[in-house]
Structure 1
Amino acid sequence: MNFFMILSGKRLKNFLFIALLSLFTALFFYSQTTSQVAVFSTNEGPKAIYKGEKGIALTFNIGWGDQKAEPIIDTLVKHNVKSATFFLSGSWAERHPDIVDKIIKSGYEIGSLGYAYEDYTDLETEKIRKDIVKAQEVFKKLNVKNIKLLRAPTGHFDKKTLKVAEQLNLTVVHWSINSEDWTNPGVHQIVKNIEKAKNGDIILMHASDAANQTEKALPSVIESLHKRGTFTNVSDMIANGKVKTTLIN
């Protein structure tokens, strides 16, 4: 009887060890898979990324104008910022292929702002899809490959936008820090608006002509952020750490 109990105990320990090992192995592969998912979904449906874990992502929206984009690119290069993400509207990109090419050659990432810079919450689902697809076609003609990031043109989106993006294998990217540079509040205020940024933050800035003060504020912004973390683009932020998602109506 004692021998039977000892033998059973050993078998039980072996069984528990194998079960725990299998569980940890499954959890490891699951975490490796979910950390690189293109569109982050939950039981409530797809959601937008607004914050990461590693690095600080400077992002610039460009919807119109031809005066501010190149100086901002030059400033980033001059101050040794090797990673950033530019969200471009398709209509702007097809009118400025030389600047698009400069963004790529400078080593920066390109994401989509759709084509016509319309508020997606005002559009029907099919019109949202057509706008996004039209922009993708423009980028393809300009030899901009593998665009996987989408930012709602006006920053406003709902479940329709998120669902279309998911179907097109695009990740909707919002932001956690808004520089408010498009309001031209003054160079000092723009810098102050990003002072609370830290690792994991996605910062919204603009390189459209309406943002008259961004170029002047950018050196101080870069200097401040250098003390807080390493610059990264949004895709690398997604791939290399946990992300926070949200559904914004």
Structure 2
Amino acid sequence: MNFFWIINGKRMKQYLIILIASFFAALIAFVESKNLEVFKTKDGEPRAIYQGEEKGKKIALTFDVSWGEKRIHEILDLLERENINDTTFFISGEWAERHPDIVEKIVKNGHEIGSLGYRYKSYTELEDAQIRKDITRAQQVIEALTGKPTRLLRPPNGAFNKTVLEIAEKLNHTIVQWSIDPNDWKNPGADQITETVISEANGGDIVLLHASDSVKQTKDALKDILDQLRSDHYTFSTVGELIANTDTKRKEIK
């Protein structure tokens, strides 16, 4: 009988070790799944940026826009009233063609422009040639309107892989993700959007916001976000300025 319990005790210990190992493996997988926007490849290979250097208290507000014109005018007007002229707008080429006057307003107000591609279709669903064509076409459209080539690319829906990274680099684009996402596109309430940004803010952060017409609460949250960040002594920066010559954060992708 004692021998039986010794054998079972050993087995129970083995099962417990396996269970603990499985738990931590699942925990790691869960954490990584929540940070799919953070990527790099091996040293010297293409990378995607999600956060700038933490030194100082600079933060980059970014706005994605791919359709509509009402919300972006409201946001641009608010930023102008608040004397903020160093945010980054990621725009789709197709939208830019329809709204050249707004593109002009973005540039005139001093903001940086990045690319969302041309048609806003997930690159992970496209063939290599289609990805190259979409990035190139968007760059041609935006450069024709602004006089400057795009260098920053936020893939549609934030979806990319190593192939997209390599294609983007060959086309002289750096993929930019984000470190704070208040999910403003879900319209969770202006207070919730503000709370998420303020509670998570750190130096070097890149904040994902939207300026398409379906996003109805970002403008209402933006004033409080600006006020609270400034009261906490943050200053605002374009993505280009934030990541220039700094130690940016990324995560390995194979």
TM-score, length basis structure 2: 0.79
Cα separation, 1, equivalents of 2:152 and 2:52: 14
Distance 1:70-1:247 versus aligned 2 partners, 3 A rule: farther
Q: Please report how far the alpha carbon of residue 224 of structure 1 lies from its aligned counterpart in structure 2 after TM superposition.
A: 1.7
2:23 alignment counterpart: none
Q: Please report how far the alpha carbon of residue 45 of structure 1 lies from its aligned counterpart in structure 2 after TM superposition.
A: 3.0
Structure 2 residue 74 is matched with structure 1 residue 88: no
2:203 aligned residue (199, 204, 217):
199
Which deviates more from structure 2 when the two are superposed, residues 223-232 or residues 63-72?
A: 223-232
Cα separation, 1, equivalents of 2:147 and 2:225: 28
- Partner of 2:64, secondary structure, is strand
Structure 2 contact 97–141 (Cα < 8 Å) conserved: yes
2:130 aligned residue (98, 109, 127):
127
Residue pairs, 1:50-65, within 5 angstroms: 50-53=50-53, 54=56, 55-65=58-68
Residue pairs, 1:3-152, within 5 angstroms: 42-43=42-43, 45-53=45-53, 54=56, 55-152=58-155
1:155 alignment counterpart: 158
1:165 alignment counterpart: 168
2:240 alignment counterpart: 235
2:25 alignment counterpart: none
- Partner of 1:42, secondary structure, is coil
2:178 alignment counterpart: 175
Q: Please report how far the alpha carbon of residue 236 of structure 1 lies from its aligned counterpart in structure 2 after TM superposition.
A: 0.5
Cα separation, 1, equivalents of 2:218 and 2:178: 17
Identity %: 49
1:212 aligned residue (195, 209, 216):
216
Cα separation, 2, equivalents of 1:240 and 1:183: 34
Cα separation, 2, equivalents of 1:136 and 1:162: 16
2:188 alignment counterpart: 185
| Cα distance per residue 1:10-47 (max 9 Å; x no partner) | xxxxxxxxxxxxxxxxxxxxxxxxxxxxxx86338312
| Cα distance per residue 1:64-109 (max 9 Å; x no partner) | 1111111101111111212100000000001000000000000000
Aligned residues: 210
Structure 1 contact 159–247 (Cα < 8 Å) conserved: no
2:37 alignment counterpart: none
Letter of the structure 2 residue corresponding to residue 73 of structure 1: L
1:10 alignment counterpart: none
2:228 alignment counterpart: 224
Letter of the structure 1 residue corresponding to residue 194 of structure 2: V
2:6 alignment counterpart: none
Q: Please report how far the alpha carbon of residue 228 of structure 1 lies from its aligned counterpart in structure 2 after TM superposition.
A: 4.5
Cα separation, 1, equivalents of 2:45 and 2:233: 33
- Partner of 1:204, secondary structure, is strand
- Partner of 2:146, secondary structure, is coil
TM-score, length basis structure 1: 0.80
Letter of the structure 1 residue corresponding to residue 113 of structure 2: I
- Partner of 2:74, secondary structure, is helix
1:245 aligned residue (232, 247, 250):
250
> What RMSD over aligned residues (CA atoms) do the two structures have, in Å?
1.6
Cα separation, 2, equivalents of 1:134 and 1:247: 29
Structure 2 unaligned spans of 5+: 1-39
